């Protein structure tokens, strides 16, 4: 399935920001298309569509995220909505019933940031608290146990969570103080804690306070620091960490020496990334041509895709990538 927003303009409103500034809220319609076997398109049915169909008539959708065969979205009023397959209570509605149209999770109007992963969800509120729900194998919800939850549960009591990311069996987050935290499954060292031990509650990765954002997928983790450097760790059997070899890493290792990395979108066994100069780079498995390099050769270090310098947003699926430029 695919879900996409279409820009209708923007408004400025107060919002949570570590610097205390106002945030600009962009107004969007919501459209979806593709496989709809579990009503994951949110259109009130299970019909497949090969072209975009608008989800309802509202124009206040904001952030969207898809995981498995369900979806979640926030609105500009701070509410959070979900639909599709509800395996293990991933929709957060207090049950395991599938829903074919968007349903609001609770009545709160303070949701800010969301992350959708393999049958579980993470979310941050405007007060900086972190919440999770859904499947909890390996303790990836960060709640100190492996119990599954069908409604949002607060992760600890801290109020300084900011950027979040969820993978298959692990999670990661950056706090407003620039520290990096991980939890969940760790069989390939993807938590970056210099071991392969699972943890069911957040653990700090090192002592640095210069982390900016974090990105995860399957058993690998990537993070960008405030100086623009890119770091990677975890599983690396196909060169998916971009470090020039096939050795797993148990703690963060810098990818090259450049200081101009902007965003990363990791897939199953490969990744793409953009730099501040607008170029786009890829590495890892390439059996389906997913690296966009005109061949099917695997690469264990970043390779530039073409010569265009206007790439912006990027997204990863299972063995494919999408980018705006």
Look-up: residue for tokens 């987050």? 173
How far is 250 from 91, CA to CA, in rounded Å?
32
pLDDT of amino acid 26: 58
> Which tokens in the block code for residue 317?
């699926």
Torsion angle, alpha carbons of 310, 21, 106, 73, to 10: -10
pLDDT of amino acid 283: 98
pLDDT of amino acid 5: 55
pLDDT of amino acid 142: 98
pLDDT of amino acid 269: 94
Burial 140-170 (b: 16+ CB within 10 A, else e): bbbbeeeebbbebbebeeeeebbbbbbbbbb
How far is 133 from 122, CA to CA, in rounded Å?
7
The total of other beta-carbon atoms located within 10 Å of residue 308's CB is 12
The total of other beta-carbon atoms located within 10 Å of residue 212's CB is 18
- Which residues, 6+ apart, have CB-to-CB distance to 137 below 8 Å? 146, 169, 185
pLDDT of amino acid 9: 41
In total, the chain counts a number of residues equal to 325
What does pTM read for this prediction?
A: 0.91
> Is residue 153 within 8 Å of residue 131, measured between CB atoms?
yes
Concatenate the DSSP letters of all residues of 251-291 into one string. Answer: EEEE-SS-S-EEEEEE-SSEEEEEETTS-EEEEE--TTSTT
> Is residue 235 within 8 Å of residue 190, measured between CB atoms?
yes
pLDDT of amino acid 27: 63
Look-up: residue for tokens 């020496």? 257
Provide block-wise average pLDDT over 10 residues at a time, the chain (325 residues).
49 37 60 93 95 91 88 95 96 98 97 93 98 98 98 98 96 98 98 98 98 96 98 98 98 98 95 97 96 97 97 86 86
């Amino acid at each position: 399935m695919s879900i996409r927003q279409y820009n209708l303009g923007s408004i400025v409103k107060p919002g949570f920001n570590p610097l205390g500034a106002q945030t600009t809220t962009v107004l969007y319609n919501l459209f979806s298309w593709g496989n709809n076997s579990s009503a994951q398109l949110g259109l009130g049915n299970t019909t497949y569509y090969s072209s975009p169909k608008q989800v309802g008539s509202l124009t206040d959708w904001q952030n969207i995220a898809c995981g498995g065969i369900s979806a979640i979205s926030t609105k500009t009023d701070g509410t959070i909505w979900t639909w599709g397959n509800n395996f293990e209570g991933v929709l957060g509605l207090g049950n395991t019933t599938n829903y074919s149209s968007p349903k609001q999770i609770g009545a709160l109007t303070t949701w800010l940031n969301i992350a959708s992963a393999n049958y579980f969800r993470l979310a941050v509120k405007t007060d900086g608290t972190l919440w999770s729900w859904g499947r909890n194998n390996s303790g990836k919800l960060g709640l100190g146990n492996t119990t599954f939850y069908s409604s949002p549960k607060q992760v600890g009591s801290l109020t300084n969570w900011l950027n979040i990311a969820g993978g298959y069996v692990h999670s990661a987050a950056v706090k407003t103080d620039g520290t990096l935290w991980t939890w969940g499954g760790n069989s390939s060292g993807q938590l970056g804690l210099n071991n392969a031990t699972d943890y069911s509650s957040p653990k700090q990765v090192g002592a640095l306070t210069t982390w900016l954002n974090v990105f995860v997928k399957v058993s690998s983790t990537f993070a960008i620091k405030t100086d623009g450097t890119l770091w990677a760790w975890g599983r690396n059997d196909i060169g998916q960490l971009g470090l020039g070899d096939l050795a797993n890493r148990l703690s963060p290792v810098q990818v090259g020496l450049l200081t101009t990395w902007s965003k990363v979108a990791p897939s199953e066994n490969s990744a793409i990334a953009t730099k501040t100069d607008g170029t786009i780079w890829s590495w890892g498995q390439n059996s389906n041509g997913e690296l966009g390099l005109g061949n099917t050769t695997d690469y264990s270090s970043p390779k530039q895709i073409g010569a265009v310098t206007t790439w912006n947003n990027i997204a990863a699926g299972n063995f494919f990538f999408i980018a705006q430029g």
